[in-house]
A and B are shown apart, each in its own frame.
Chain A
Amino acid sequence: MEDLHPLELIDFSDVLRNHPEYEAYIEDQKREAKERNDPLLEPKPLFELRWTNRVIVDNLPEVSAEKEDLLIKVLVKVISKAVVPIEPSAVYMPMVDGKSQCFAFITFPDEELAKTAVAKCNGLAFDKKHSLTVVSFDEFDRLMDTPSEYVEPRVFSQKELKSWLTDRRSRDQFVIRHDEFTKVFWNDSISLTPDLITAGPSDKVWTDKYVKWSSQGTYLATLHQRGIVLWGGPNFEEIMRLSHYGVSQIEFSPCERYLMTYSSGPSGQFIHWSLEKGEEIRTFQANDEPWGTYLYSYNGEFVAKKGNEMISVYNSETMAMIEDNEGKKAPIAIPQLAEFSWSTGDNIISLHIRESEAKPAQVRLLAVPSRELIATRMVYEALGFYSFWQNNGEFLVSMVTTKHRNNPKPKNSIIEIFYMKKRGIPVESLNLDFVVSNFSWEPNSNRFALIYSGAHSAKTLVVYEVGKEKMETKKIDQCDTKCSTIAWAPQGGHLVTYSFAAKNNTEGRIEFFCVKNQTLYQIEERVHMNMNYLEWDPSGRYISVGSLQGIQQRATQQQGSGYVIFTCQGSDVTQAALEKFYQFSWRPRPKSILDPQIYDKIVNQLDELAAKYEEEDRQVKRAAREEQKAKEMKMKDEFFSQIHIYREKWINTRDERAQILKRTDEEEINRWFEKVEPVEEILSVKKEITR
């Protein structure tokens, strides 16, 4: 879609008025103009510039004006025979100085026929000397846009792409979007101000939409109207462009080999891309399906799509549906399917089956691609149920909220723990006497935390431990909390509970906890105005909270707009108050490849290693202090040179001042003085006889 105003010579007004979206567009423009308080300008209409039903026919014989009609007649005959009967009026052959230019344009009734014409007539022999070249306009544009000189594509090595992981001080990066700026920073806890890495290609707005890190942090994707661009390497250079008009959501596969992009609306599409080739693998029409319909498995090998009472599983590489026992490519039919989720450690799908008349609700585990049912669990009197996978797929918790018989009110929660790594997948059932409102697994661990509300909406945070050897789940500790949601640190050990601001101009709350030696400690409690965002950094050392606003939303003056970074103990690292603050995102890290034995060894040597790193930190701190000092000196000089002019003026105009005040400066100062007058007062007189 292009803005047509520059082409003022051609009158498109009739075409535009008949366009189906014309009315809606004009209404939109009027509303916007009203909001901007502009005088109502004639809105600029949008128009489809892709001539999809026309083709270019090249390599025709050169003829003079007399033979023009004859050539067109022959061309019509050839095309009519090969594709579809057309009229001579559908052919347009430009003539210059009475000679044809060896090419012509043909208009077909629709796009499909034009495509057929390209397929069938390209290379068709026209006469003895000439064979036709037929191309579509899209192809023509592509050819014309191709630069005439060959430029070697920049190939990024893995070392360059992963360079941020080799930072000397193992800092983490984050990206922020505010106003028209997109900036990537190092989070620096020692110099206390984030260290700017890049703000995008110079003198250009990086993107006016959102950005997203890939799942292991290798790429930064920026969303644009015409598609997405991937950036990477130490200086955030452009790696790849993928064109998807009107893209609004993207999702990287966990292995970073594939990408799913989504555009909404009536002509919305899901496109599955291969990032290795930079090519599209398959496009699905969205048909009003929401984002999140297609989900990647834990290693990105499969993509699953929930349909009506069925699940379609595709192989990511070819995007072909997986075959059943008879070798037929068919979706997996599951009657009464409610929800499904991928395991985080295996190619297993967990399914929730709704209660039907005869059967109770069920939780099923389905292996992919074998389609084998590996576990089933019945659930009675279920009101709702949710699945929670531990991040390595070792455990699955299916939490069921039960109801009273003949009463739709929730009664209590039952936690079903599936031991995925044990033979036969045994299930342990935990019957709780309260309704769980939030649940979360500790990453890489066998502990989980949950929150339930007791009487008078007092909330309690409880931590449980699942048995590693024996199937025995024990309660570790509990603590009161005022918040409703749990977020574990990505490396475990710490967790926070938080509540976002309930409405405009209220505060969000964060409580910091730590689990150590089978005890739950509350460390700190913080609040942030209008908090609607919270995220742990990938190392679990810092946590960022903030108050964001939507990009489409009109700018409002909100308290707390901006972000704050806390340590995992709840003390401030840095904060920034930014207006029009849209996004904050930590750069993810790939999973650690460290051997557990080496990891333990490092933990044991921590005291010796700490001394070395503390010395480094001290040096960085000293440098930061000196830089700060220099900056302050400069500010001081600037400030005093500024007020010096007026101070001079003040001194030079003392006579004028005295005239107005009818007093000189000296008299002004000596107008009053302080005098101390001692006053003695006898309060009482007492006589005492001392011996």
Chain B
Amino acid sequence: MRPILISCHTRPVIAVKFNKDGDLFFTGSFDGKVSVFWSEPVERLGTFACDGAVKTMTVTEDSKYIVIGTAINGIFIFEVETGTKVKTIEFSSKIHVRDVEFAMGSQQFFMISYESDEKKQSVVYIYDFESVLNREQPSRRDLVRRDRDHYYRGVWGYLNKTIVLGTQNGIIDVVDTKTGELLLSHRAHVNQITSLAFSPDFSMLITASRDCFAKLLDPETLKEIRVFNAQRPLNSAVISPLMLNEGSPKYHCLVAGGQEARDVTTTATDQGGFEITFYNMIFEREIGSVRGHFGPVHSVAVHPRGHMFVTGSEDGTARVHILDQDYFTPAYD
């Protein structure tokens, strides 16, 4: 498998994302740019320029708009097709955006922020997307606040009924979207939760953490189903959509991360743990790994059809991997 190397960013690539149809993917970097590509063949379409380091982004289901969260410069909304900046939501410099994500149906999105004022709280807001586009002052709802142990990542629950939030110290909170009531709080990890993702049919939740474990959890009770010990700090874990494949489903997940950037120079590249590992979720078994990056991998995104994936890394590159025909044989089930 020969990857396609994307080196159009000058700083670490922090987020990569496919749109819902899988014909486009986006790479966001600390250099303040989000690039958009055709996925087949891989061809660059253009760049959205933001002022400030990109932290996170999310795309509407119809791929019309992209919402980009930057570290301290607020949220930027672009029209994907034309590249025009539609809207900027600015905050005071004390508000740091941690995560944004569209709900199912793209009617609303949440923003997890950390507010470094006197209160030092982390707040989850829900924005109504229509009002964001049309009104001067977008209507937003203050859903939940947390004083200590701040939220870092979040994901919408099934049918937008809940939001699942992961904290700096490894706790997962499930919050009711309507009332903001805390439904469940569970200590899943002992260190920062760096990624939360549901399987495409919402039957499983996968978490990745800096404590070197990725865990497959029951989406409602948060009970552990499988535990993957990757022996390196993890930044991202996703479930391959091939599990819904009729005929030959593949219950695989992709896990990536690596030693923190400040430790990297002390090790040889093959010990940094920068590879992307495939696990069989049924047997909790490692199937194989894909090497290539020479810095920790920040984000992994799988094509909705499961035949390719994109990774973004601290080394400033994104890599597009198109899986070999071999992978689709029963040998890798």
Contact = CB atoms under 8 A, between A and B. Distances in A.
Interface stretch (A113-121, A395-403, A455-463, A635-643): A635-643
Given A646-B201, A646-B203, A657-B159, A639 B225 contact: yes
A505 B267 contact: yes
A657 B104 CA distance: 9
A650 interface: yes
B331 interface: no
Interface in A463-510: 503-507
Contacts of B79: none
B267 A661 contact: no
Contacts of A559: 231-232, 259, 271, 273
B281 A639 contact: yes
Contacts of B212: 557
Interface string A535-577: 0000000000000000000000101100000000000000001
Given A529-B271, A642-B218, A662-B105, A505 B283 contact: no
A646 B229 contact: no
Contacts of A21: none
B160 interface: yes
Contacts of B306: none
Contacts of A672: 21, 23
A507 B282 contact: no
A643 B204 contact: yes
A521 B281 CA distance: 42
Given A557-B212, A635-B283, A643 B231 contact: no
A284 to B, nearest CB: 45
Interface residues of A, number: 30
A560 B259 CA distance: 12
B interface residue count range (under 10 / 10 to 19 / 20 to 34 / 35 or more): 35 or more
A660 B160 contact: yes
Contacts, number: 73
B183 to A, nearest CB: 17
Contacts of A645: 203
B284 A507 contact: no
Interface string A561-602: 000000000000000010000000000000000000000000
B314 interface: no
B266 A503 contact: yes
A653 B229 CA distance: 34
B118 interface: no
A527 B229 CA distance: 19
A671 interface: yes
Contacts of A503: 266
Most buried by B among A527, A649, A671: A649
A647 interface: yes
A671 B21 contact: yes
B1 interface: no
A547 to B, nearest CB: 11
B159 A643 contact: no
A650 B202 contact: yes
Contacts of A647: 201, 203
Contacts of B136: none
A179 interface: no
Contact of A632 (B202, B226, B283): B283
Contact of B203 (A507, A577, A643): A643
A660 B219 contact: no
B136 to A, nearest CB: 27
A507 B263 CA distance: 13
B282 A636 contact: yes
A672 B273 CA distance: 38
Interface in A655-691: 656-657, 660-662, 671-672
B291 to A, nearest CB: 15
B176 interface: no
Contacts of A660: 104-105, 107, 159-160
Contact of A642 (B61, B105, B225, B271): B225
A2 to B, nearest CB: 35
B104 A661 contact: yes
A216 to B, nearest CB: 36
Contacts of B282: 632, 635-636, 639
Nearest to B62: A671
A662 B105 CA distance: 7
Contacts of A650: 158, 201-203
Contacts of B219: 646
A554 to B, nearest CB: 14
Contacts of B204: 643, 646
Contacts of A656: 159
Interface string B215-259: 000110000011001011000000000000000000100000001
Interface string A591-618: 0000000000000000000000000000
B99 interface: no
Contacts of B191: 557
A345 B218 CA distance: 64
A661 B21 CA distance: 14
A428 B131 CA distance: 95
A507 B104 CA distance: 46
Contact of B268 (A527, A646, A671): A527
Interface in A89-135: none
- Most chain B CB atoms below 10 A, which of A560, A632, A646, A662: A646
A564 to B, nearest CB: 12
Given A527-B271, A577-B231, A647-B203, A661 B61 contact: yes
A506 B267 contact: yes
A661 B203 contact: no
B101 interface: no
B231 A560 contact: yes
A661 B156 CA distance: 14
Contacts of B225: 639, 642
B173 interface: no
A660 B21 CA distance: 18
Among A503, A559, A645, residue most surrounded by chain B Cβ atoms (within 10 Å): A559
Contact of A507 (B159, B231, B268): B268
Interface in B1-46: 21, 23
A507 B269 CA distance: 11
Contacts of A505: 259, 263, 266-267
Contacts of B273: 559
Contact of B271 (A507, A635, A636, A661): A507
A661 to B, nearest CB: 5
Nearest to A578: B229
Contacts of A577: 229, 231
Interface in A616-643: 632, 635-636, 639, 642-643
A646 B271 contact: no
Contacts of B263: 505
A653 B212 CA distance: 36
A639 B204 CA distance: 11
A559 B273 CA distance: 10
Contacts of A506: 266-267
A224 B218 CA distance: 42
Contacts of B21: 671-672
Given A639-B282, A661-B104, A646 B267 contact: no
Contacts of B160: 660
Contacts of A642: 218, 225
Interface string B121-155: 00000000000000000000000000000000000
Contacts of B266: 503-506
B275 interface: no
Contacts of A639: 225-226, 251, 281-282
A465 to B, nearest CB: 36
Given A559-B271, A636-B282, 13 more contacts: A503-B266, A507-B268, A507-B271, A527-B270, A527-B271, A529-B271, A635-B283, A639-B281, A646-B219, A647-B203, A661-B61, A661-B104, A661-B105
5 contacts: A503-B266, A636-B283, A660-B107, A660-B159, A661-B104
- Leading 8 A-B pairs by shortest Cβ distance: A646-B203, A660-B105, A643-B203, A650-B201, A639-B282, A507-B271, A660-B104, A505-B266
